[in-house]
Structure 1
Amino acid sequence: MSIRAVHLVASIDNEAAGPSVSVPRLAEEQAKLGMEVELSTVATGDAPARRIAPAVQQHRHAPSFAGVPVVSRLVPSQSMVDDLTARASSIHIAHTHGLWLLPNVYSMKMAQAGTRLVLSPRGMLGKDALAFSRGKKRVFHALFQQRALAKTSLLHATSEAEIEDIRAFGLKTPVVLAPNGVDIPDSDAPAPKSGYRTILSLGRVHPKKGLDRLVSAFAALECEFPGWRLRIIGPSEIGYGEKLKQLVGELGASSITVEPPLFGADKLDAYREAEIFVLPTLHENFAMTVAEALAAGTPVISTKGAPWAGLETERCGRWIDHGVEPLAAALRATMALSDAERADMGVRGRAWMKRDFSWRAVASTLSDAYTWLVKKGEAPESVRFADPR
């Protein structure tokens, strides 16, 4: 019996958001393994549908209550509800990605028809992530999310740290451990050069990313390392980009820019041009940008808010404590290396991504877990059970 699965995610229209990349890629790789795979999303903007392999059937639903304050921010879609409810009896697995939006709870209705529910929290159960809009999340949890979680048969974590977050939230549901995958770009093309040595931080420009600390750390080193610059690239959320620009001005830092998001080949060029990639985040369940930077051959500095201890063991970066001083110390040490030493770090990081983070391996792990849910039998080694105590 071929497993038929649908992936549900609020939107894949924002290419700067991790799930916009990782969820379609997961669906495509599972289709290559012989599964019948669908992708169900809400059209949250005017952007055309993302190009996805023909083997994955894409359902892009119209939003409801568009333009209505508060309600529209929850991304409601009656079209998605009706479609999933009508077809629930023919779908074995409904895999939802994310929390706190209405498409993240629509799969509840499918459970009544026997569909097994899988949920990827996508880092949204971390302590720091829960602290943002805490009151709104408590209300949503009481009204919707709690019931959806109760019907979920399996949770998906991308790291050991995320399993700890799941258990700390009080969930006893079995968890399958599978990282996000990463595409390995061609290494033969020469990296673009700008005349500067570049430090890059790319992704959502949001307070949880700790970018104010990075700005302060680099500003303290700017005079010590002439010819270096810091580029912060990504979509500004809740006005954080403007606050960073204001901080740059207050510090008098002339070599820091806060820029709009980049996509596709332009984003890859930014990774490959950079001498160092930095993620000063407060909390991440995975951090797709770290994997992308390493795959592009760029050394990485990440705070311990992201689960990348392997940066140290694989000798391709630094995994540091939070704060301006640890950031400044890691930057100074890495900037002081020779170009050849940093290049060697990049080579090791790329090899690590190629070895352990292929999409085929990730898709196989999750597909095995789906099969276990549907057909029973012995659980795969990747599935972790809560301590019965």
Structure 2
Amino acid sequence: MRVLFVCSDADVGGAERLLATLARSWSEEDELGLVVLMSRGTLSDDLEAAFSRVTYLDFPPSSRNLPAMVRALEHAITDFAPDVISSHLFHADFVTALARTRVPRVSTMHTHGFGSGDHWLTKVIARAVGALSFRFAAVVPTSDSPAMTTFLRRLRMKHVVTPILNGTMVPTTPSFNTSSRTFVSIARNHPVKGHATLLKAYAAAAPTMPGWRLRVVGAELTIDDPRVQGMIEELDLQPLLDSGALSFDGPTSNPENVLAQSAALVISSLYGETFPLVGLEAAGHGVPVITTDVGNCSHFVDDRRFLVAPGDPDSMRNALSTYAALSDDARAQLSQQARARALRDYDAHAVAERYRTQFRTVVDADTLA
């Protein structure tokens, strides 16, 4: 089977990293291609190593030349001659839905909602994808949460099939270090990720947690970013920065290296998350997770004290301080539980096989038609 994946960009993000993970875990019987609407990005090396062929259409992020995008994708489809097309993220879904092709198409949903911080055009495109969803043979949610069901219903998404939750390459051995006193947040700088709530909570908890620190890792999360500067001033974070108890470390293409140095991963998202890859990776490394109760993120928590109400700095502060007060043995037990869960539930090869089965079903149905 020849599978052509389509995504919007090649920068580090959950959907893009999932594609690299799936390609590395896929059956060698198939040939996998990838079309990226934009140019090479920070994840290109990983994607090019995972797929047999990667094609960049080289449109700038600001491009509104939809007809040209559609034509370029049509040429890429003809060139690769796939049996099935799998699109990811709404911009790629929109272009894929408009392409003139007889090849069956499958869309994968990586979010279950929007907020005021999301661009208006993304919301318009999502509604357009819902209207065009009859052109997809299947729409695969990456969450089985009620929020995802409601979101797809509001978009009037058709041909929705059984959800396929994300997976990860679980390392051979865990890397959790019980002596670590570092919380880490790994997420891009976007309102959906709830950085302001996390930072407010951490600033309140820090005096009760001597020796602990918070690393904030992600795109556009450096000390010179205007939005970061705004949060530093508004929340009076400079003393924490000066003491080394807080750092803004920018993007990483190797989150596993960051996780290996961490006592816990903190997910502070306000909405929209389905089953974030970084939470799966943390579990694989045996790193416990403190998370807001969004999408399927509650699956990452083995102790309900570390499941937090979205947008609630007091709840997050209590979770951080409670975790910091645990003994090394108690954190080690949480690490073992997380690792066992990853081995049991998150294997990327099993997830890739579920996608492959779905694609084969679509291809077989198209052949019979």
| TM, length-normalised to structure 2 | 0.85
Structure 1 window deviating more from structure 2 (78-87 vs 112-121): it is: 78-87
| Structure 2 counterpart of 1:187 | 173
* CA distance, structure 1, for counterparts of residue 138 and residue 258 of structure 2: 37
| Structure 1 counterpart of 2:248 | 258
SS at match of 2:260: helix
* CA distance, structure 1, for counterparts of residue 348 and residue 22 of structure 2: 7
| Structure 2 counterpart of 1:274 | 262
Q: Using the TM superposition, give the Cα deviation of residue 360 of structure 1 relative to its aligned residue in structure 2, in angstroms.
A: 1.0
Q: How large is the RMSD of aligned CA atoms in angstroms? A: 3.1
* CA distance, structure 2, for counterparts of residue 160 and residue 317 of structure 1: 23
Check 1:299–1:47 CA distance in 2 against 1; reply closer, same or farther (3 A cut): closer
Q: Which amino acid aligns with 2:45?
A: R
| Structure 2 counterpart of 1:216 | 200
* CA distance, structure 1, for counterparts of residue 159 and residue 291 of structure 2: 30
Q: Confirm or deny that 1:230 pairs with 2:214.
A: yes
Identity of aligned residues (%): 19
Q: Which amino acid aligns with 1:295?
A: G
Task: Name the count of aligned residue pairs.
Answer: 356
Match of 1:59 among 54, 59, 65: 54
Q: Confirm or deny that 1:23 pairs with 2:19.
A: yes
SS at match of 2:87: strand
| Structure 2 counterpart of 1:108 | 97
1:11-68 residue CA offsets vs partner (Å, 9 max, x unmatched): 22x22x1122111221232243x2232111145346694245778322322424x48x
Q: Which amino acid aligns with 1:208?
A: V
| Structure 1 counterpart of 2:227 | 240
Check 1:288–1:73 CA distance in 2 against 1; reply closer, same or farther (3 A cut): farther
| Structure 2 counterpart of 1:92 | 83
* CA distance, structure 2, for counterparts of residue 223 and residue 87 of structure 1: 60
Q: Confirm or deny that 1:81 pairs with 2:63.
A: no
Give 5+ residue unaligned stretches, structure 2.
Answer: none
Q: Which amino acid aligns with 1:118?
A: V
Q: Which amino acid aligns with 1:214?
A: L
Higher share of residues assigned helix: 2
* CA distance, structure 1, for counterparts of residue 82 and residue 318 of structure 2: 52
1:155-200 residue CA offsets vs partner (Å, 9 max, x unmatched): 111211234422243223222311111122242668597xx61111
- Do the aligned partners of 1:191 and 1:269 also contact (CA within 8 Å) in 2? no
| Structure 2 counterpart of 1:382 | none
Q: Confirm or deny that 1:367 pairs with 2:365.
A: no
SS at match of 1:177: coil
* CA distance, structure 1, for counterparts of residue 84 and residue 6 of structure 2: 11
* CA distance, structure 1, for counterparts of residue 101 and residue 152 of structure 2: 27
Check 1:307–1:146 CA distance in 2 against 1; reply closer, same or farther (3 A cut): closer
- Do the aligned partners of 1:212 and 1:247 also contact (CA within 8 Å) in 2? no
| TM, length-normalised to structure 1 | 0.81
